Structure 1
Amino acid sequence: MRSWVKMALAAAAALTLAAQPAAAQVPDPYARELAQRLSRAETVLVENGYARAAGPFAAGLGEREGRRFSLMMRAGQDYRVVGVCESRCRDFNLRLFDASGRLIGQDVLEDNVPVVHVRPRTTGRHTVEVEMVRCVSEPCWFAFNVYSR
């Protein structure tokens, strides 16, 4: 992908992050950092046939806090949920639940770039749960996108 396209994607992601509702608005410089990290992840996924289906979803959390986000997913479709966290974040996890509340995918490794790969069995509202495990200075800001192919 050409560098100007990558820069345009990063700028668009930064604008989208900054345009979130006030409760979820990510302050600079964290918005730019998250946008750059999402852009790098997106480049790899696009090269592998994925397209963004939803996001970015973004917020700040304190250590050991969590938040849930709802989104629509289709049965049989291949999805990747990719999260990024800013530099003060040491570990955060993603879990994905189907419409009945059953856990269908998770990344709970000790890292700050969780990736969940799922192929839902049912179409409907799914829930992404974010858990901030370790945060050096609260709040730690995170963002995630959902990709499909």
Structure 2
Amino acid sequence: MKLPFIALAAVAAALLAEPAEAQPEIVTMQLDSAVVLMAGGGFAPSDEAVMGRLSQGADEEFELELDGGEYLVVGVCDGHCTDLDLVLTNGGGDEVEADRELDDIPMLSIQGQRGTFVLSVQMATCSSSGCHYGVRVFHKR
């Protein structure tokens, strides 16, 4: 499922030379591309995208409600970010799924989980004072 996201990486690389103020738009463009790519695989957005800015080594957490279906969580980041990670934990703090690969388009595949979970977005590598990121949750139609 990661192969279609090579296109997202190409978009990010092409826009790397854009000025700093254009970086949030890069994230928005990548998330819009993810919606199109996911639709081809039978997935639809579950909610609005979450976007923010983090410095290297920082993280942000969000609650995520799952109903037992099949989900994909996709993260993207701007041209100054080379490694973004996603970690999903349950209410007890146990890790359910994680993508800590050295890449800037992490994905989580979640199946059959029900309840409230915590999604941690971790900015592993950012070459500026802060990098913009976006996360979108998709569910199987």
TM-score range, shorter chain: 0.7 to 0.9
Give 5+ residue unaligned stretches, structure 1. 1-26
Q: Percent identity at matched positions?
A: 23
Query: Counterpart in 2 of 1:92?
Result: 84
Which residue does the alignment assign to 2:138? 147
In structure 2, stretches of 5+ residues that fail to align are: 1-19
Are residue 114 (structure 1) and residue 86 (structure 2) matched?
no
**Deviation per CA, 1:110-140, whole angstroms, max 9, x where unpaired?**
010001101143x221111011111100211
SS in 2 for 1:54: coil
SS in 2 for 1:112: coil
Q: Which residue is equivalent to 1:126?
A: 117
- Residue equivalent to 2:47: 54
1:29 counterpart = 2:22: yes
What SS does the aligned partner of 1:100 have?
A: coil
Which segments of structure 1 move beyond 3 Å, counting only runs of 4 or more?
none
Look up the SS of the partner of 1:129 in the other structure: strand
Task: Measure, in 2, the Cα distance between the counterparts of 1:141 and 1:72.
Answer: 24
TM-score normalised over the length of structure 1: 0.76
User: 3-state DSSP class of the match of 2:48?
Assistant: strand
Structure 1 contact 98–120 (Cα < 8 Å) conserved = no
In 2: Cα distance, 1:74 partner to 1:28 partner = 38
Matched, 1:104 2:96: yes
Report the Cα distance in structure 2 between the residues aligned to 1:79 and 1:58, rounded to whole angstroms.
19
Distance in 1, Cα, partners of 2:128 & 2:67: 38
Q: Please state if 1:83 is matched with 2:79.
A: no
Q: 1:127 to 1:120 in 2, by over 3 A?
A: farther
Indicate the RMSD between aligned Cα atoms, in angstroms. Answer: 1.4
1:126 & 1:55 partners in 2: Cα distance?
17
Query: Superposition pairs for residues 40-51 of structure 1, below 5 Å?
Result: 40-51=33-44
Aligned length: 121
Aligned twin of 1:138:
129
